[in-house]
Every structure is written in C-alpha cells, then in structure tokens.
Structure 1
Amino acid sequence: MDNLNNINLMPKAKEEKSINLLDILKYLLFQWKWFLLSIFIFGGYYLYQYSKTPFIYSRSETIMIKTPLNTMPGTRITRANYYNTVNVASEILQLRSKELMRKTIDRIEGDISYTVKKGLREYELYKDAPVKVQFIDAKPEVGFSLQIEAVDQDHVALSSFSKGNTSQVLKIKLNQTVRTPIGLLKVTRSPGYKVSDFDKPVIVRKYPREAMVGYYMANLKIQQMEEDASLLQVFVEDSSLQRADDLITTLITVYNEDAVEDKNKVAINTAQFIMDRIQIIQSELGSVESNLENLKVSNQGIDVNAASQMYVSEGMMHESAGNDVQTQLKLVEMMQNYMRDADKKDDLIPNNTGLVDVNIENRINEYNTASLRRNRLLEGSSSENPIVQDLNITLAAMRKNIYRAMENAVSGLQIKINNLKKEQTQARNKAMAVPAKQRMMLSVERQQKVKEELYLLLLNKREENAINQAMTEDNVRIIDPASGSDAPIYPSRIKKLALGVGIGIALPAIVFLLMLMLDTGVRSRKDIEEVLSVPFLGEIPFTLKDKGGEAVVEEKGRDYTSEAFRILRTNIGFMAAGKEQRVITFTSFNIGAGKTFTAINLAASFRYLNKKVLLLDLDLRKGTLSNRVNAQKEKGLGVTNFLANPKVTVDDIIYQGLVGGIIDVIPIGVIAPNPVELLLSTRLDELIIELKKRYDYIIVDNVPVNLVADASIVDRISELTIFVVRSGKMDRRQLPEIQSLYDQRKISHMAVLLNGVRLNKGGYGYGYGYGYGYGYGYGNETKKTIWDKLFGKR
C-alpha cells in the first residue's frame, strides 16, 4: 500500500475548481452540427419574414407655428392680439387629435389600400393602381377586401370577396355601379389605364376608419426642433411613399382650415350683431327724420334758432357731450342685453365694435380667445377633459367680470348724463322764452344726430369686420415640404439575417450550457481528479464493437480501444513498482459500469504480451462474466462448486481458451444460495494460491461495492482493485464516497478507471489526459485536416 501511494501515477494535490473558457468553447465547438442546423433554421425563418414583410418608408415635413414673434406686423393690422396666447404644446396636441386624422383619412381615402404581390412581398400602389374602386354604400366602420384582374380594355373580374360567397367571380364593366357580396361599388380607370398594367392581380382592401386612425396615429410623430422654437418636424411612416407625403400635407391643410374657421366664427358673430343693430338704427333714424320734416312743415320753414342763438350755443356744448355719453350708454346697455340672453351664453361676445371702453374690449378679446381654445379641445376629446373643465370655470369668471365692468360703465355714464342734464337744464332755463316749437325742433334734431352718428359708426365697424375676415391667416406655415429617403427603413435584410443568425447561435449555446450546468454525471478524467486523490489508471473510450464474450482489443490494433487498454496495462505495471500485483479485481458502485467488458479486454491485452491470464468470475449472485463467455451453457463446474465441495479440484473448474481461444476462464458454476459464506471460506484463498502458481495474472470480476458484502470479502485476495467508473452513468456527488473508501482503506490497493468516454463528445474537459500513444505505428496513418483538428475527428 505504501508503494502504491508513492508511484508517479499518484495525482497532484486537488486544484481549485475554476471555469475554463477554452474548455467551454471547445465543448460548444464540438456541437457545430447543431449550431449549423439552428443557424440554418432561424436564418431561413427570418429571411422568409424579411421576404414577406412590406417595406416601410419614412417621410417628414417641417412646419412653423405662427406667433407674435415670427408673424409680420403688416398681416395683423386689425387683429393684433389674436396670436398672443399661442402655445406650441397645445398646437402639437391638436395636430395629433383623432378628429383631425379622421378628416385627413377621408380626404386622401387612406382607408382604402391597393396592393400587388410580387414574390412573397406585397407592394402598396396607392395612386399608381391601374383602377380606382368607389365603395358607394360602405360605412366607415366596416372593412372588407377583394381581388381585381383585367379581362379586357373595358372589363375587369372581381373575386376573392372577404364576405358572402368567397368563391364567386364577377365580370363587370368599368365605370358602372354593380352590386357585389360586399355591397355597391364602382370600378373606374386610372389615368393611362392599360390592360398590360394588370400583370398581377390587384388586392383591394377597405379598412375600418377607426383602425386606420389608430394605425396612422401610431406612425405619426411630432417633435419640437428646439425647446424654445416654434418649429415642428412631423414624421409619418407608411408602406407608400406617395401616401405618406399626401398624409402629412393634407393633415396640415385640414388643420389650417379648421383654424381659419375657428377664427372667422368671431367675425361672423360680430357681423351678424352689427347688421341687426344697423337695421334697428336705420328704422329709428327714419322715424326721427320724419318728425323733423313734419315740424319744419308745420313751422312753415321759419328758422327759430336765430332768436335764441346765444342761449342755444351754451346748451349745444353740453348737448354734444350728452350725445356722446348717451351713445356709449345705449351701446353698453345693448351689450348687457346680449350677455343676459341665455341662448347666447356659450357664444362668442362681439368684439372690436368700438362702442365700449378699451378695458372691456380687452377683456372680451381674452374671453373669445379662451372660448375658441376650449372649442378646439372639445373637438379632440370630451367635456370631461380636465383642461376643458378648467377653461369652463375660467370663462364663467371672465364673463362675470365683463358684465360687472359693463355695470360699472353704466353707473359712470349715468352720472355723466345726470351732470350734463343739470348743466343743460340751466341752459334751457335761460331759453324759456323760446317758443315750444323751437324746443321740439331741437329735441328732434338731437335725436337725428345721435341716430345718424350711431348709424355711421356701425357702417364703419361692418367694413372693418369684413376686412378682418378677409385677412384671416393660417396657424401653421410649411417650411420644408414632405421629403425623405426613397429607401425603406424597415425591414432591413442585414438586421433580419443578423437576428436570425444571432438567435441560431445563442439558442443552442444556451441549451448546451444549461445541459452542461445541469449535468452532474462524471464525464472526464478532470471530473475525477478534481475530487479524488485515488490513483487514476486511465480512460477507456466508448465503443460499439462489443463482441459479447470476446475481446475487442487486437494484438496489433491501431484503434482507440486497443491503445487505451495498452495504456491501462502499462499504468498497472507502473503502479506495481516492483511489488507483485498479479490478482487484479474489478468493482464499481453500480451495475452497468463495464467491469466485465474491461476485465475481458485487459486480460486479452496481457495475453498479447505472452502472459498466462485467467478470468475468474466471483460474482456468485449473477455470474455476468460467465454468461458473457457462455461458460454456463455447459452446466459444468465452477468456482461455486469448488468453494462448496472439497472434492472438486482446480483443474475441474478451469475452462481452457474460452475467450478468443487464448484466455482461460473459471465461471461461477451454479448460482449460490449462500455466496457470503462461500467467499469467507479458506477454499477461496487456496484457489488463489494455486492459480498464482499457474498464471501470471488473475483477473477477477467482482460485484459492485456497497450493494452486497461480497466485494469487501473478496478484497483480501486482491493485490490491485480497479474501481470502474462509467462516464455519464455515475453522479459526481458519489465521488466523495469513493474517496471515503480509499481514505478508510475499506478496499486495498485501490485505483480508478474511467470507462465509456465518448471521444467525439466534446464535453467540458473531455479528452484531458489521454490520446498520447494513440495511433503510433506504421502503415495506417491518415493525415488530419484542419477540420478534423477543430471538431475532434480522430
């Protein structure tokens, strides 16, 4: 045992476990076929996806929101305060409103698609389609599709209807309304229509409008170019370049039209108010002029003013001032009547009439601007919008403030009128001597003047309002028209292939690494040497050339198995180190480790050195070796008979040349009912002593350790116990138990042999420590290629 611990095959101190990236890379490279298959599958799938995905293009347009800072003063002569509350963020929200997008889609017919299939991919034709379909009774919320093919210059065939009889084919004449399974429709020619344009069927799809609103809203992006700038860049992505351009341009056009309409609402309401007042004043003025005419006729045309010119001059000054105040008072009262009208509570207040003071006009202007903003927000949302509710509260407060200001103005004007009346009364008292007719004349002339001034003022304001309405401007100005690259932004062939190849590499790598991490089996010499200090004899490669009871090693064989057993034989010689180790026992932890296979082939390897070798089957419970070499078919004597019957001799149980005609075998004979008692008998020791006289090596096939007590009992006759570990069959967590057997000396002269190693497996650490000596010889060498060196072909 001491010599065994001092031999060169004694492993070095246990090395700390670490992850070797080269080992992992080698492990993955050995799976190259799976990687190649995965890359082919995923690369092909993503190439297929690329080939069928429609191209997507991106277009952009630069616009400017008009504000007082970027609008020419000359364009705001009569409405200078209209732009003072422009907010770029709110304009962006309005540009992204669903109602605006609905109007845009309706105008460009964006819910109707014309496509043609070339290869696997569909291409959007839009206005380049050879025909145009009008869905006469289709509702905006419905969707359907059909296929159109040319028959001749005047007829087309409709088929593949998405509703009704899908197999129906209709031959119709162009420019005529027909009923189809999807409703009434009319197919018209596009400019330059030719039958040759129908080289492939055209697929026409009518999408629900709300679905297209959602689609374009998702593909619409509006961003402010600078934080404090009123320049915006509008992006649209679509499968048609021309449709993307039309969508952006039409969106801005519709937005400007709505903005102009909102602005003109104030002018329209003001014009209506002025017209109503002109008609009233015109009627009143005509009545006053008739009274004046009657007074002059009844006075026979005599001028009575000359008699009291001195008194009248003084009264005229106060009268003139009173006329102005009366005019302002009437206008204020008319505005109050307008605001008290419940039917006009939500209407815009007439503005810029010049009939009230500047403070009230400014408040009315602010009220109208806020009311227009609220109305625009209501179009894109609902009255439950928090911003709309806040604006409603603000508008109510502003309206109350305007009304209160008018009340204050009325009070002030009334005070002025009272003062003027007092002064006028004093002047009138001085003219008490003037005849009553003169006073009546003056009263009528005064009414005429008031009505005339008011009439002229309203005429001027009507013209001014008309000028304002004619000069109404857009909110948005286009800086750069819709443009962009003609190359599609999606899909990208390189990105698709790269993604497919990436997944094709990553997925099998993850699977194999998970298999590696979850694999707890002993796979290589490295797995054993990292845990055990037990001497390691070598590795036996996995072979499919199992010949049953015959040896697979050949005397001059160049194969891996023959070389592996030569190395094992040599290492056993190194372990002997001059000490006799002729009785070699094979054991393991579990069944199927390959003890019998290894014992037979090791015996053959020793026999090729002209050594006398005997195979002894001491598995008295199963007799695996005996069954494999067909020793039981004779139903002859065996080791059981020898141990149980003193009359049986050694010569009676030896079967000459039973394995390959060169190796003798002692089978078990019969299955023993009491194998432990038989193995404990001295007859076993006598048998070994006698066999050692006759043979150079006695190879014993023993039972697995820990399953039964037989292995420990047989250990007394063993000079070298080879513990066979089957690659992939034994859990690494069992290795400490082997170390425990070694440390506690439960098995004498113990060494470990790894059996069933797959040379082409490429496992983590596979191939470590063997391979030297393989292939030496002459006559059968084959030159290894780089491919063989990379992927482990030997």
Structure 2
Amino acid sequence: MALLNNENTSNNTLDNFNLKKTLSLYTKQWKWFVLSLILCIGFAYVNLRYTTPKYLAVAKIMLLDDKDNSSVGALNDLSIFSDREDAMVEDEIQVIKSRSFLRNIVKELSLNVRYYTKGRVYESELYKSTPILVNFIESDSIINNTNSNFYIEILSDTHFNYRRNEDGQPKKYTFGETVPTGFGGIIITPKIKSIENNIGNNIRVNITKAEFLAESLKDRISIAPTGKSSKVVQVSLVDPVIEKAKDIVNTLIDEYNNYTIKKKNEISDSTALFIDRRIRLVEKNLINVDDSIVGFKTSNKITDVVSEAGQFLNSSVANEQQIDAAKMQLSQLNYVKETLGDETGKYNAIPSNLGAGDPTISALSSRYNELLERRKSLLKSAGSQNPIVLELNQTIAGVRQNLQQSISSSSTSLRIQINSLESQSRRINSKITSVPGQENRLRGIERERQTIESLYLYLLQKKEEAAISLTATSPSAKIIDAAYNSAGGPISPNKQIAYASAILLGFLIPFGVFYTKNLLDTKIHNKEDLEGEINNITVLGEIPKVNSNKVLVEKNDRSILSESFRIIRTNFDYIKRTRKVKEYDNVVFVTSTINGEGKSFFSMNMALTLANTNKKVLLIGADIRNPKLLLGLDEKRKNELAKVGLTEYLVDKSVTVEDAINNYDIKGNKIDILLSGKVPPNPAELLMSDRMHPLFDKVSEKYDYVIVDTAPAMLVTDTLLFSQYAGHTIYLTRADYTEKRILNFAKELHAENKLKGMMLVVNDVKQSNFGYGAKYGYYGAKQKKGFFRKRA
C-alpha cells in the first residue's frame, strides 16, 4: 500500500506520465464537453441554415508569348522589348488583376448597381432577373463615386413606392417619372413586360463606389498557374450568384485580350516612325564623332601617341639618375660638415674621397687627414703642450675652417642642381602622364564611332524588316475553358466540414479551458498530488469535502466522513507501532502550514474517532491565539466551559489540570477536552512555561490518546516552542487551498526534525478527486440505483 511506504520509498512511479490520470482530468468533466458539443453543433446548424450559399466560377486560359506575333518582330531583338519575351507568368497575372481592368469590368457589367429581394432568411441578389431598371440622370463620374441604398415596392404595372430607408415613409411614383435623390434624379422603368407577377415585391437597390468594388474584386479573384512552369492559368471567383461570377471571369479575360491587342497595334503603328527617327539621330551622331577625332589630334599636335610616349620615358629615366647622384653627394657633404662641427671629435679623421668632382675639397680632405696623423705620432713622444703640437693644432684648425667653407659652397651648388633637375623631371612626367589620357580619349572616341556605326547599320536592317512584317495582331491569352461552375453546386457552406469543425471545436474549447486551468493550477487536490510533492513523508489518508450540516462523526456512523477518519486511525496505529517512540508515544500534535487548512476540524473528529473504540481520549486546544475547538457545542455550553482552559492553567498556578479538563458527550462519543481558554497577550512566552512539562507528563499517563490542536507552524513559532512533547505529528493540508510551493516548509521541518514523526493528511477533498466512495462507494453502504438498474 502507498500509505505504508516509509521515508525511503522511491517516487519514480509518480514521475512517470500517467495516461489514465491525465484522461480522468477531462472525463470527469464530461458534462461540460457534452454542453460544448451541443452548443457548437447547434451553432453550426443555425449558421448553415441562415448562410447564403456561394458558388465557384472557373476558367482556364493559356498565356501566349509576344514573339508569336509577327507584327512586332522587327523590334524583338531590341533591348527595350526583349524583356517581354522572358516575362514570367506571374507578371501577366498581375496585369490581369490590375485595377484598371477591374474598374472597366465594374462599369461594363454595371456591378455598382445591385438589386436585392428579401426572402424568409436572407436577401438574394437579382442579377439579370430584376423586374425594374434604375436609370441615372447624373453623369457616370458622380454615380461611380456614390454609396447609397433605397427601396422600391411595386404597387402595379404603373406605380411604385420609393423609400430612402427601410422603415422610412414611402412616396408613390409612376414608372418613368423622375425621382429626386441625394445624388441626383433617377428614373425607374420596368425591365420586363409582365411586371404584374412582381406586384407587392420589395426590392432594395444598392449603389456602391466603383473603386471600392474594383478593390473587392481584386481580393476575391484568384489567378494561378495550373502547374509549375506552365503557361496555362486558372481564373476563379466565388460569388453567391453563379451567373454573375461567370460574367465577371469571362469579361476579365476579354478585357485582358482587348488590352494586349490594343498595345500590340500601337507598337506596330509606331515601329516605322521610331526606326526612322533613330536612324536620323544616329546618322547625325556618327558625323559628330568623326569630327571629334580630327579635332582632338589637331589640338594635341599628335600623330602617333605610342612613339612619343617612348621618348618621354627615356628622358625621365636619365634625369632621375642625375637627381639620385646629386642627392647622394649632398648627403655625404652634410655628413662631413656635421663631423667637422662636432667639438668632441674634432681630431677624428674624415673620408678622403668626398671630392666627387670638386678637387679643392678632395685636396683639403687629404691634407686634413695627414695633419691629424702627424699630430697623433707626435703625441706619442711629446705632450699635448709641446710647442710643435700646439703649432700643429693651429694648422689643423685652419685647414678645418677652409674645408667647412668649401663644403658649404659645394652643398649650395648641389642644391641648385637638384632643384633644376627636379623641375625638368616634373615637366617630363607631366607629358608622360598626359599620354595615357590622350590615348584613352582617342580610343574612347573611336569606340563610340564603332558603336554608333554598328547601331546605324542595325537600324537600317530593322527598317527593312519592319517594312515587310505582317500587321496582323493576335490576343495574348487563348481561352481553353470559358467560365463554368466547377463544383456543380455551391462550394460553401460545406455541411461536412462545418459539422466536423463544430465537433472538433466542441471538444477543443472545454479541453483548452481545463488544460489551461490545470497548467496554471498551483494547489494540491488529493493524496496523489501531495505524494507527488512530498515523497519521503507518509500520507495517512484523505478527508472528503462535507457540507456544513455534517461536520462531526457520530457514534456508529457509516458516512464517508466517518470512514475516512477510520482509515486514517488505522494507518496511524500501524505507523505508531512501527516507530516505537519511548516518550509521549500517545501524544499526537495536529498542525498545518497556514491558517484555514482544518486543524481544529481534524483534531475534533480524530479525537471522536479514537473515542469510538472505547479509548480514553483527551483533546487539547493549544492554539491559544485563535481557539476553535468549540465545534459542535451549543452556545450556552461554550460560554460555561471557555472560562477555564490552557491559558488559565499556564498563568494561574492554583489551577490544576483537572480544573481545566472537562468531559463532553458529542454525537454519542465521550471525550475529555482541555480548551484553549482566553486569548493571552503573550502566547509564545506562555507556551514556554514550566507548567507544560508536568501537564504532558500527567495527561500522557492518564489517557490512551492525547490529541493537541496547535497553531500553524509557518505563521507563528508556537507549535515549535513545545514540540518536544509530541510523540507524533499529523500535518494537515487542504485540497484546492494549500499551495504546492509552501509545502517546502513542511519538507524543511521534516528534514531538520523540528516536528517528531511527521505524517500528512489531505483535508476537504472533492468527491470527484477522492480515492474512496467517489466511484465504487463504501462496502455495506446503501447505493443509489440508476434508471437502468431500477428497471432491472
């Protein structure tokens, strides 16, 4: 049994998907499913009964290529017309559905003026069968932009009533008489000879803007190819009047063919004129290009651009070499000049090959190096203050000064030379740079001449082709099937689909409602839900939801409430025997997470159930903040017994346990009750009193069972303050009330062993969710017989 699972029992079975449980969530709501099906099917029936039937008109055409038409063959190769050869079928479909075509259809068929006759259920349009005809005095431009309704009642073959509104005051007119309206005068005339058969008929005339109707047709007309890469397209339209739908589809095809024939004729007529104009223009351009070539060569004084460019390149190379040599010599002179000017290295030797064409600098360099070498030799045998060394120093200084002056003079000359060479290089490079542009410009002019010349010859050829081409034109669409009723009858409403959809919707609506409700449900509903949330604490059982008239079990009671408590009592006794608690084994604390989960209700009934077995039972009301253990007592008895209780015992040491305990006979069961007493200002401190220990010692010895109704464990700390006196703890949860998330608090209490011997109970479970009595009933209880069982 699931009740007898210990704390180590695996919860793998609960984690698995339970199809039967899932289906039961919906099957027990079968009444709502039946109601939904009845409503949906009824709605479908009414909708089918009062919906105007619609018909489908379909036509098939083949789109022809323009190249099949010889009238424009002379221009088929021109780029301006070549795109028409490769026009996709989709492009032509967009042309057929253009607003201009649809506006023409509205005007040609007078679709903006419609006649309706009212039947029993809905109005039906009188297309080509109207007994009257409305003639407008105003221009078509005004009528095509008018929205209006008016009503005609045929009185006789000569008179009729006119009303602007359906409930308006009628005005009598004669056929052929001008009737004034807000959009101009109208004249009503009979359309058929035997109008007597229509006397008494009411006809509604509806005038709609032509642009609005064209837009409506654009949305309603469907044009699509019959297959991939096929030029055969299907044109279809759905409308309540099949003849009207056929006329619209056929007229649309005719309009498209007339349009394409007109366009081809225009092209054919303008072909010759176009080619003649182009030939004259191209001929003029060809002469201008020839003149441009002559003028370009004359203004630039060139005959052969390539040979002149070679000469410029040779000159540029030689000039660049001279510039590089001069810059190298200048760099060397600058280096020597910096060396001579450095005081720290004034007796260092300098390169002797710096002349580079200047003999003075070369001679001075050699003389300077020789003097430095001589001074170095003298310093080895004489000191630096030797007269010969001093005299030699003066000579070296003079040579150095002369050398610096010669270098400065030579550097200035080199800079002037470099500037001159660079200026010459820029002139040569400018000429070289201009050569590609001149060559490119000349080639461009020649290329333009070749292009214009080719076009000129091409146009002359096309002029001859246009002169001998045929002038006959053919439409761009070949009619394969004219418009016809493809279904042979109305396509909508479809009864099979309507009823199938109604049945499907009838199931989906309640399913969606209950699925969403279950998806958003965060509360527990029965024992199975509780075991799914807490799998390591034993669940003793479920208590069914009862009406307010039956809240306490009675002596020899066989109700579902009493049986539920008997099951809980049996399961509790079994767990109690297996646990083998040493102290306070007969003391049972009853608590819950929050207020309103039925602790007092359970405590009272559990005590009565235990007393029903001739056990001596004491019920203690330990919830001194919010006492509720006066359940089942009359008002007079409540007032008498509530004067002395647990509070008075804990506060007044003169009050004994026997003074606070009273004996009761409730529903035939005799139990002792220690009521809560008055609500104290300090309940938490009072429950920590030293008098609690002797109280529980004494009552646990005197009674077979001590049931203690305590405060909610999560809201206040009262229960935990004296939980050491509990041998067992029954933790109450309430179906459709206790949130699953707050059960984590119960898990924490159990994990930290704050409450001894925790066991769970689910209170207030609905009959449909209850594990006992909901489907099979109780053994020995009277069963209600259904209609078929009574007959049997």
Q: TM-score range by the shorter chain?
A: 0.5 to 0.7
Q: Deviation of residue 773 (structure 1)?
A: 8.7
Identity within the alignment, % = 27
Output the CA distance in 2 between the equivalents of 1:563 and 1:703.
Answer: 26
Which residue of structure 1 lines up, in the alignment, with residue 98 of structure 2? 97
Q: Deviation of residue 6 (structure 1)?
A: 12
Matched residue SS, 2:143: coil
Which residue of structure 1 lines up, in the alignment, with residue 643 of structure 2? 636
Question: Within 5 Å, which residues of 2 pair with 1:493-572?
Answer: 493-530=495-532, 531-545=534-548, 551-572=551-572
Say if 1:570 and 1:262 are closer, same or farther in 2 by CA, change over 3 A: closer
Say if 1:176 and 1:6 are closer, same or farther in 2 by CA, change over 3 A: closer
Say if 1:712 and 1:224 are closer, same or farther in 2 by CA, change over 3 A: closer
Which residue of structure 1 lines up, in the alignment, with residue 57 of structure 2? 59
Q: Deviations over 1:131-186 (max 9, x none)?
A: 22233324212221222322233322232449xxx834232222433223443222
- 1:617 corresponds, among 621, 626, 632, to 621
Q: Which amino acid aligns with 2:511?
A: A
Residue 777 (1) aligns with residue 785 (2): no
Output the CA distance in 1 between the equivalents of 2:747 and 2:262.
Answer: 94
Which residue of structure 2 lines up, in the alignment, with residue 727 of structure 1? 735
Residue 405 (1) aligns with residue 460 (2): yes
Asked if 1 retains the 8 angstrom alpha-carbon contact of 2:152 and 2:163, the reply is: yes
Say if 1:338 and 1:185 are closer, same or farther in 2 by CA, change over 3 A: farther
Asked if 1 retains the 8 angstrom alpha-carbon contact of 2:117 and 2:202, the reply is: yes
Residue 12 (1) aligns with residue 13 (2): no
Question: Within 5 Å, which residues of 2 pair with 1:584-595?
Answer: 584-595=588-599
Say if 1:403 and 1:178 are closer, same or farther in 2 by CA, change over 3 A: farther
The number of equivalent residue pairs is 594
Q: Which amino acid aligns with 1:775?
A: Y
Question: Within 5 Å, which residues of 2 pair with 1:186-335?
Answer: 186-191=187-192, 193-197=194-198, 201-225=202-226, 231-262=232-263
Relative to the length of structure 1, the TM-score reads: 0.65
Say if 1:613 and 1:151 are closer, same or farther in 2 by CA, change over 3 A: farther
Say if 1:175 and 1:268 are closer, same or farther in 2 by CA, change over 3 A: farther
Question: Which has the larger Rg?
Answer: 2
Which residue of structure 1 lines up, in the alignment, with residue 722 of structure 2? 714
Which residue of structure 1 lines up, in the alignment, with residue 310 of structure 2? none
Q: Which amino acid aligns with 1:251?
A: L
Say if 1:404 and 1:672 are closer, same or farther in 2 by CA, change over 3 A: closer
Matched residue SS, 2:492: coil
Matched residue SS, 1:59: strand
Say if 1:592 and 1:97 are closer, same or farther in 2 by CA, change over 3 A: closer
Output the CA distance in 1 between the equivalents of 2:185 and 2:104.
Answer: 23
Say if 1:83 and 1:408 are closer, same or farther in 2 by CA, change over 3 A: closer
Matched residue SS, 1:756: strand
Output the CA distance in 2 between the equivalents of 1:58 and 1:46.
Answer: 22
Output the CA distance in 2 between the equivalents of 1:70 and 1:408.
Answer: 20
Output the CA distance in 2 between the equivalents of 1:6 and 1:339.
Answer: 106
Asked if 1 retains the 8 angstrom alpha-carbon contact of 2:32 and 2:510, the reply is: yes
Which residue of structure 2 lines up, in the alignment, with residue 31 of structure 1? 29
Say if 1:710 and 1:246 are closer, same or farther in 2 by CA, change over 3 A: closer
Relative to the length of structure 2, the TM-score reads: 0.65
Output the CA distance in 1 between the equivalents of 2:33 and 2:775.
Answer: 30
Q: Which amino acid aligns with 1:17?
A: D
Which residue of structure 2 lines up, in the alignment, with residue 664 of structure 1? 672
Q: Deviation of residue 755 (structure 1)?
A: 0.9
Residue 699 (1) aligns with residue 707 (2): yes
Tell me the C-alpha RMSD between the 2 structures. 4.3
Which residue of structure 1 lines up, in the alignment, with residue 292 of structure 2? none
Residue 654 (1) aligns with residue 661 (2): yes
Which residue of structure 1 lines up, in the alignment, with residue 179 of structure 2? 178
Asked if 2 retains the 8 angstrom alpha-carbon contact of 1:65 and 1:230, the reply is: yes
Which residue of structure 2 lines up, in the alignment, with residue 327 of structure 1? none
Q: Deviation of residue 38 (structure 1)?
A: 4.2
- 2:611 corresponds, among 607, 613, 623, to 607
Q: Deviation of residue 229 (structure 1)?
A: 6.0
Gaps in structure 1 of 5+ consecutive residues: 274-331, 342-396, 410-460, 761-765, 788-794
Q: Deviations over 1:466-502 (max 9, x none)?
A: xx88x76555443322212342223334334444443
Asked if 2 retains the 8 angstrom alpha-carbon contact of 1:51 and 1:121, the reply is: no
Asked if 1 retains the 8 angstrom alpha-carbon contact of 2:527 and 2:542, the reply is: yes
Matched residue SS, 1:586: strand
Output the CA distance in 2 between the equivalents of 1:513 and 1:732.
Answer: 18
Q: Deviations over 1:629-674 (max 9, x none)?
A: 4565125322222333343334432332253363332212322344
Output the CA distance in 2 between the equivalents of 1:56 and 1:717.
Answer: 83
Matched residue SS, 1:494: helix
Output the CA distance in 2 between the equivalents of 1:157 and 1:645.
Answer: 102
Asked if 1 retains the 8 angstrom alpha-carbon contact of 2:66 and 2:476, the reply is: no
Matched residue SS, 1:723: strand
Residue 154 (1) aligns with residue 158 (2): yes
Output the CA distance in 2 between the equivalents of 1:199 and 1:602.
Answer: 84
Asked if 2 retains the 8 angstrom alpha-carbon contact of 1:606 and 1:613, the reply is: yes
Q: Deviation of residue 711 (structure 1)?
A: 1.2
Matched residue SS, 2:135: strand
Q: Deviation of residue 777 (structure 1)?
A: 1.1
Which residue of structure 2 lines up, in the alignment, with residue 577 of structure 1? 577
Asked if 2 retains the 8 angstrom alpha-carbon contact of 1:11 and 1:529, the reply is: no
Q: Deviations over 1:180-230 (max 9, x none)?
A: 344322223233644544676332211111111112222223344466665
Output the CA distance in 1 between the equivalents of 2:535 and 2:751.
Answer: 10
Matched residue SS, 2:672: strand
Range with greater deviation from structure 2 (180-189 or 221-230): 221-230
Q: Which amino acid aligns with 1:596?
A: S
Say if 1:340 and 1:6 are closer, same or farther in 2 by CA, change over 3 A: closer
Q: Which amino acid aligns with 2:541?
A: G
Q: Deviation of residue 575 (structure 1)?
A: 1.8
Output the CA distance in 2 between the equivalents of 1:677 and 1:481.
Answer: 99
Say if 1:62 and 1:402 are closer, same or farther in 2 by CA, change over 3 A: farther
Q: Deviations over 1:261-292 (max 9, x none)?
A: 5566689899xx9xxxxxxxxxxxxxxxxxxx
Range with greater deviation from structure 2 (50-59 or 480-489): 50-59
Say if 1:21 and 1:182 are closer, same or farther in 2 by CA, change over 3 A: farther
Matched residue SS, 2:629: helix
Asked if 1 retains the 8 angstrom alpha-carbon contact of 2:3 and 2:538, the reply is: no
Matched residue SS, 1:776: coil
Residue 140 (1) aligns with residue 132 (2): no
Which residue of structure 2 lines up, in the alignment, with residue 357 of structure 1? none
Gaps in structure 2 of 5+ consecutive residues: 78-83, 282-451
Say if 1:136 and 1:494 are closer, same or farther in 2 by CA, change over 3 A: farther
Asked if 2 retains the 8 angstrom alpha-carbon contact of 1:526 and 1:768, the reply is: no
Q: Deviation of residue 725 (structure 1)?
A: 1.1
Output the CA distance in 2 between the equivalents of 1:486 and 1:61.
Answer: 14
Output the CA distance in 2 between the equivalents of 1:710 and 1:473.
Answer: 102
Asked if 1 retains the 8 angstrom alpha-carbon contact of 2:150 and 2:162, the reply is: yes
Asked if 2 retains the 8 angstrom alpha-carbon contact of 1:11 and 1:536, the reply is: no
Say if 1:104 and 1:586 are closer, same or farther in 2 by CA, change over 3 A: same
